[in-house]
């Protein structure tokens, strides 16, 4: 990512966001990129610059808590309605009326709430690795974990409990090499044992567990990751988990429109990239999400990839091509680009 293309803006609630921005060529739309955990806008390096070179506008955010963006440690600062307004403030600062919103991991939740709060500002949505995140009523997190385990067959988000603990930042910092190996393993199936179950990640970090690392992450990539999170810490990024385990997010969602994407006639096109080897956000659950009635009026384009959860790092070429074909075909026909 070309560092000369980074800018800063102060949102209406006084938070400074850092973001990569390149304006669109005439007749081309602007693509909004929202990353997840544990990432920064740098993780779009295999996708965003390639689409920029095709003439698309690119707005790739360092999401709140990451990179050059402010890092409040009060979880209440991260509730979806506020994050949505921050994104709109940034679009307004760049005089962008509408964008194509693209999310990965927690970034998929961010663009999901744009569909709830500001559907008139989004032409189309691309969900990479995670589907649309629906509004759910507030519930105890343990109940949520039990529900997922019953429906999927094994525990999924037990690591969220660790990320929400007061000392998680210190543990992650002290064992960051082990964390890299667990988070980016050569065999993604180890997540079922080392990451997903409640208590497993913390114990494995304390034990300095190590395993072969994935081939798509170079030594330079690892160095960049370690330097970034040693400098910035995990106290702010883990707030994205704290709002989920504490009900802050669900209670904030009570303000959201119960009918996302605006009027049925809007029918915003949807692109869904599925990672078939994702053992934290399994494809079965993602496919089920887009079978809901709310999506019946939408054109949903699905791309399956032989990838783990971090498909934007491992399959940048395929995703870039898939997005371009979808935009030039389905999106252009639907919204008249």
Residue 7 and residue 121 in one domain: yes
Residue 285 and residue 220 in one domain: no
Pick the more confident residue, 156 or 316.
316
The domain in which residue 131 lies consists of 3-137+256-335
* Token pair recorded at residue 233: 């810490």
Residue 262 and residue 126 in one domain: yes
Q: What is the pTM of this model?
A: 0.95
Residue 280 gets the label, from left (phi > 0), alpha (psi -120 to 50) or beta, of: alpha
Tens digit of each residue's pLDDT (9 = 90 or more) over 232-264 = 999 999 999 999 999 999 999 998 876 677 644
Average pLDDT score, the chain? 93
- Which of 248, 280, 303 is the last residue in one of the domains? 248
Looking at residue 259, its pLDDT comes to: 67
**Confidence at 286, pLDDT banded by 50, 70, 90:** low
Q: CA–CA separation, 227 vs 95, rounded Å?
A: 34
* Contact of 322 with 273, CB cutoff 8 Å: yes
Residues 6+ apart with CB under 8 A from 210: 177, 178, 181
Give all strands (DSSP E) within the chain, no chain letters.
Answer: 6-10, 16-22, 30-34, 57-61, 99-104, 122-128, 270-275, 300-305
Q: Give me the CATH number covering residue 42.
A: 3.40.50.1820
Residue 209 and residue 171 in one domain: yes
Residue 117 and residue 161 in one domain: no
Residue 231 and residue 262 in one domain: no
Looking at residue 265, its pLDDT comes to: 45
* Contact of 250 with 137, CB cutoff 8 Å: yes
Tens digit of each residue's pLDDT (9 = 90 or more) over 179-229 = 999 999 999 999 999 999 999 999 999 999 999 999 999 999 999 999 999
Q: CA–CA separation, 335 vs 46, rounded Å?
A: 27
Helix 176-183 vs helix 219-232: crossing angle, to nearest 10: 130
* Contact of 128 with 48, CB cutoff 8 Å: no
* Contact of 17 with 11, CB cutoff 8 Å: yes
Total number of domains in the chain: 2
Residue 66 and residue 83 in one domain: yes
């Amino acid at each position: 990512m070309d560092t000369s293309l980074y800018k800063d803006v102060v949102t209406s609630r006084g938070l400074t966001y850092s973001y990569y921005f390149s304006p669109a060529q005439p007749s081309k739309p602007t693509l909004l990129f929202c990353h997840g955990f544990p990432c920064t806008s740098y993780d779009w390096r295999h996708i965003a610059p390639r689409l920029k070179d095709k003439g698309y506008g690119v707005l790739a955010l360092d999401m709140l808590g990451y990179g050059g963006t402010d890092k409040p440690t009060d979880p209440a600062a991260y509730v979806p309605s506020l994050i949505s307004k921050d994104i709109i403030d940034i679009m307004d600062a760049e005089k962008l009326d509408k964008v194509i919103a693209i999310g990965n991991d927690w970034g998929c939740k961010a663009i999901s709430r744009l569909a709830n709060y500001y559907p008139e500002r989004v032409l189309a949505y691309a969900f990479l690795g995670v589907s649309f995140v629906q509004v759910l009523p507030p519930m105890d997190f343990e109940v949520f974990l039990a529900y997922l385990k019953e429906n999927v067959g094994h525990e999924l988000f037990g690591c969220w409990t660790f990320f929400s603990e007061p000392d998680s930042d210190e543990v992650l910092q002290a064992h960051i090499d082990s964390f890299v190996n667990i988070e980016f393993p050569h065999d993604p199936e180890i997540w079922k044992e080392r990451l997903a179950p409640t208590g497993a990640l913390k114990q494995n970090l304390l034990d300095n567990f190590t395993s072969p690392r994935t081939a798509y992450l170079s030594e330079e990539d690892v160095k960049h990751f370690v330097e970034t999170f040693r400098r910035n810490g995990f106290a702010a990024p883990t707030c994205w988990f704290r709002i989920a385990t504490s009900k802050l997010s669900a209670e904030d969602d009570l303000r959201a429109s119960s009918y996302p994407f605006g009027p049925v006639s809007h029918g915003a096109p949807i692109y869904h990239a599925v990672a078939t080897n994702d053992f934290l956000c399994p494809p079965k659950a993602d496919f089920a999400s887009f079978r809901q009635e709310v999506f019946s009026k939408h054109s949903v384009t699905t791309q399956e990839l032989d990838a783990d959860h971090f498909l934007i790092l491992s399959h940048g070429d395929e995703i870039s091509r898939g997005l371009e074909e979808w935009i030039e075909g389905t999106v252009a026909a639907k919204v008249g680009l």
